[in-house]
Amino acid sequence: MAVITAVALGASMGAVQPVHAQPAAVARGLPDFTDLVDQVGPAVVNIRTTERVTPGESPTGMDEDMLEFFKRFGIPVPNVPRQQSPRRSQPQQQEEQPRGVGSGFILSSDGYVMTNAHVVEGADEVIVTLTDKREFKAKIVGSDKRSDVAVVKIDATGLPAVKVGDVNRLKVGEWVIAIGSPFGLDNTVTAGIVSAKQRDTGDFLPLIQTDVAVNPGNSGGPLINMRGEVVGINSQIYSRSGGFMGISFAIPIDEAIRVSDQLRASGRVSRGRIGVQIEQVSKDVAESLGMAKPQGALVRGVEVGSPAEKAGVEAGDVITKFDGKAVEKTVDLPRLVGNTKPGTKSTVTVFRRGASRDLPITIAEVEPDEKAAAAKGGSGNAKPKSSSVAAEQLGLVVADLTDAQRKELKVKSGVRVTEVAEAAARAGLREGDVIMSVANVEIHNVKEFEAALSKVDKSKPINVLYRRGDWAQYALIRPAR
């Protein structure tokens, strides 16, 4: 470990120069957390989970060596399907085995407790222990994997509850503390500062980064400000060893409360969706579309029958606003849409062909474990192929669509890709795709396709809108240099 040594700097040889007094910096003492611990500590709980297993069978269905590997490096233990044991003449009695230890905090005096979803996932029994050593079997009210928030209920009243803080008032550099059960050590208090806000480590939630010591077992415990208010739920750490390395992440409490309210009301979380595939707007994409700077969410695909398609959103559009709120980065869009109640009528602002336009849209609901439909390629006999020099430079050979192909593919115009290589293949195009526009110019046949290509600068990336199966998609073809 490198050691930096402080060295006093003496005056240079010669006459001694007078030292003029400088304004002294305001001296601040280190904070005292004792009052905070006394105030919030009784509302923090230890959470143990167990799982019913057959004697001799490992919880989680994996052997003990593999289980120890996951534990040692702080990796969440996956649910592995258990192998069936050989049949015996007598059924074996199942027994409870420890599954994990975490933390939580009391939301209300009537026994609602908040924790992380990964703390209670897969548990057959959840045991909550208070600071006065009372233990309760808890019922899982609801759990949301996307936000990693869960709510459990214990049968008790008159409990000490936490105060919820305002995350918007939280500042980088502010002192915060964590209380939890790292490595099963109940009511452990650690302190640090807020290192950053709005860290993009999750799809639906921007997280709070701190340097508070958080270790396995702290998960689900509160992050507390100097006013004794909970501002986050300790959820993740960055680590190469499985232990604390100075970077911890907490779920903002305002987002967690929004999730917990839905879990308490219905046991599940309802999120909005509009049916688009998106990616970050790169500098090349921004230049090719005529945007002043890279911003927004680039629409790579639009689901057939989705709210986005019905609203008129097209692949190649850049969504710059949703419901009047700016979309600066790609991750902003799913968060804004996800927090919108399904059925809500909203507006999406898109940048298309050099201009912005507002499109009214009705939000649909995210289905649990939704799976994208498999893409289907076109088929049928094509007319003679195009092999212009411009098309071949991009690695494309295309053909006009027959009437049967238009009907089968449910398109009115475009050209079908019959061969693909080089730059076009690198951009993701495949044989059977239907190209509908090139460099923001809509095309109906091979003649228009070649005319559009003849006008573009082949040394710069060329944007292409194409259809594959039920999805309209966008690609940027970068010619080799």
For residues 58-93, b (16+ Cβ closer than 10 Å) or e, as one string?
bbbbbeeeebeeeeeeeeebeeeeeeeeeeeeeeee
- Given the residues 118, 144, 306, 317, select the one marked as catalytic: 118
- Provide the terminal-to-terminal Cα distance of the chain, rounded to the nearest Å: 46
Query: Known catalytic residue: 132?
Result: no
DSSP 265-296: HHSS---EE--EEEEE--HHHHHHHT-SSS-S
Q: Rounded to whole angstroms, how far apart are CA atoms 141 and 468?
A: 42
Q: 3-class DSSP state for residue 88?
A: coil
The two tokens of residue 257 are 């409360």
- Given the residues 219, 235, 248, 288, select the one marked as catalytic: 219
Query: Known catalytic residue: 282?
Result: no
Contact 432, 468 (CB under 8 A): yes
| 219 belongs to an annotated ligand binding site | yes
The CA dihedral of 249, 255, 258, 261, to the nearest 10 degrees, is 10
Q: Rounded to whole angstroms, how far apart are CA atoms 325 and 477?
A: 31
Q: Rounded to whole angstroms, how far apart are CA atoms 58 and 97?
A: 9
- Given the residues 103, 147, 148, 186, select the one marked as catalytic: 148
The CA dihedral of 204, 205, 206, 208, to the nearest 10 degrees, is -160
Q: Rounded to whole angstroms, how far apart are CA atoms 463 and 468?
A: 16
Q: CB pairs under 8 A, 24+ apart, for 59-68?
A: 59/97, 59/98, 59/99, 60/99, 60/122
| 148 belongs to an annotated ligand binding site | yes
Q: Rounded to whole angstroms, how far apart are CA atoms 223 and 190?
A: 10
Q: How many alpha carbons fall within 13 Å on the CB side of residue 112?
A: 13
| 118 belongs to an annotated ligand binding site | yes
Query: Known catalytic residue: 195?
Result: no
| 217 belongs to an annotated ligand binding site | yes
Q: How many alpha carbons fall within 13 Å on the CB side of residue 391?
A: 23
- Binding positions for substrate: 118, 148, 217-219
Catalytic site positions: 118, 148, 219
Which residues are documented as binding site? 118, 148, 217-219
